[in-house]
Amino acid sequence: MPDFALSFDEFVLAASTDSLADEPAAREHADAVEFRLDLADDPLEQLSAYDGELPIIATNRAAWEAGGASDETERLLTVETALEDDAVAAIDLECRALDGSVAAADTETAQQVRTSAREAGVPVIASIHDFEATPPREKLTALLDRAADAGTVGKLATTAHDRGDALALLSATHEATAAGKTVATMGMGAAGQHTRAVAPIYGSAIGYAPVEAAEATAPGQYPLATLRELVDGLATPTNNDV
């Protein structure tokens, strides 16, 4: 039986999909599968029938954060049910659901699911998305601190409009990881696409890519094989590098 344990001490490349039937095609390049329950047909049935090798990150993205799940409480309880499956090695919960900063969120249930995950020893990715812009550097740092404090990994995806936005995001990533935070960052859109390959050098713990380009779940994603090649091809600096 596969070992589905997942640690974010090293970079994890997740293949994003709404069908676990894609898992065999992802094995060559991915370290995990991000299963988008909110976009999937019969997601819990897919989980119960899963016989793949890669650990699963279960994401049931809220409609208020550009996902496909409209019933707030039901979607969170579905994530809690998914935790019962041995293959689910991490879950993604919106940071704004966990801290109650969005009126549409069911914060009590979100916190309940986080507690269930912690009791089961399953890491929680606390995610924040900005589909409009990239905030200033100081705001990025504050957002990463907030997300990292809310989960095992703090995930921040912003929309980059130029190289300055990309640089600010990479700088905030470096600052957060230097402070001992576990974070995952990515710039969405064309101007931020390269950050998906470069951010791991600055400490980003997770990357996301579709198995096929046409199945991208966020703007600016590279195909899975391309991102694997780019990340692996970039040298990671050490403290001894000049």
pLDDT of residue 242: 38
In sequence order, what DSSP letters do the residues of 170-193 get, joined into one string?
HHHHHHHHHTT--EEEEEESGGGT
pLDDT of 235 strictly over 70? no
**Token digits for 163?**
């190289």
pLDDT of residue 72: 98
The residue annotated as part of the active site, out of 129, 161, 181, 194, is 129
The amino acid occupying position 173 is: T
DSSP 3-state of 92: strand
Distance CA 76, CA 111 (A): 10
pTM of the model: 0.94
Percent over 70 (pLDDT), the chain: 96
The residue annotated as part of the active site, out of 155, 174, 181, 194, is 155
The neighbour count for residue 121, using CB atoms within 10 Å, is 8
pLDDT of 134 strictly over 80? yes
φ/ψ region of 153 (left if φ > 0, alpha if ψ in -120 to 50, else beta) reads: beta
**Token digits for 52?**
């793949």
Distance CA 234, CA 221 (A): 18
Residues annotated within the binding site for 3-dehydroquinate are 34-36, 61, 196, 217, 221
Q: What is the pLDDT of residues 157-174, one digit of tens each?
A: 999 999 999 999 999 999
pLDDT of 58 strictly over 70? yes
Q: What is the pLDDT of residues 167-202, one digit of tens each?
A: 999 999 999 999 999 999 999 999 999 999 999 999
pLDDT of residue 212: 76
**Catalytic-residue membership of 129:** yes
**Token digits for 118?**
């912690």
pLDDT of residue 214: 77
- pLDDT band at residue 240 under the 50/70/90 scheme: very low
**Token digits for 199?**
């951010």
Domains defined along the chain, listed by start: 12-233 (3.20.20.70)
The neighbour count for residue 71, using CB atoms within 10 Å, is 12
Q: What is the pLDDT of residues 72-106, one digit of tens each?
A: 999 999 999 999 999 999 999 999 999 999 999 99
